[in-house]
């Protein structure tokens, strides 16, 4: 059975939107359950406390994830998700740098965090595709 938008048109972006929403909602919740894990990824050059960035980024991920679940806001949600993935990229770089510099970190972990960096681009691309495929009002 095809996914149908409220306007009656097939919604080909629903499943990818739900996958991105699950990713963002899950990550957003984790920012509140284990904030110390995220605090360490905040680049030290940023002003203020790392915990504030952790909580605000968690709120942003939950908010953007929610917009992806709602057909009426999915187009905006896809664009916001792309911007969010760009905005958190410095934290991903910081995590990779910290892991690589850590002499106690296993080589496999260093490789994982380094190889994860280019994976941000497919997330951005997927978010923009969700926006393009979202139902129009």
Tens-digit pLDDT profile for residues 52-96 = 999 999 999 999 999 999 999 999 999 999 999 999 998 899 889
Let me know: does 89 contact 113? Beta carbons within 8 Å. no
What is the reported pTM?
A: 0.83
* Alpha carbons 75 and 98: distance in angstroms, whole number: 35
Let me know: does 136 contact 75? Beta carbons within 8 Å. yes
Phi, psi dihedral angles at 35 (to 5 degrees): -60, -30
**Confidence grade of residue 2 (pLDDT, cut at 50, 70, 90):** very low
pLDDT: is 79 or 1 the higher one? 79
């Amino acid at each position: 059975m095809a996914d149908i938008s409220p306007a009656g048109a097939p919604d080909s972006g629903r499943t990818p939107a739900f996958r991105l929403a699950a990713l963002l909602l899950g990550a957003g919740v984790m920012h509140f359950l284990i904030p110390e894990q995220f605090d360490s990824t905040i680049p030290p050059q940023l002003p203020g406390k790392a915990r504030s960035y952790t909580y605000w980024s968690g709120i942003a991920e939950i908010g953007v994830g929610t917009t992806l679940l709602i057909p009426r806001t999915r187009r905006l949600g896809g664009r916001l998700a792309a911007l969010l993935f760009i905005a958190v990229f410095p934290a991903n770089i910081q995590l990779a740098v910290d892991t690589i510099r850590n002499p106690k970190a296993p080589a496999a972990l260093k490789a994982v965090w380094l190889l994860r960096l280019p994976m941000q681009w497919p997330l951005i691309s997927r978010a923009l595709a969700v926006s393009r495929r979202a139902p129009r009002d």
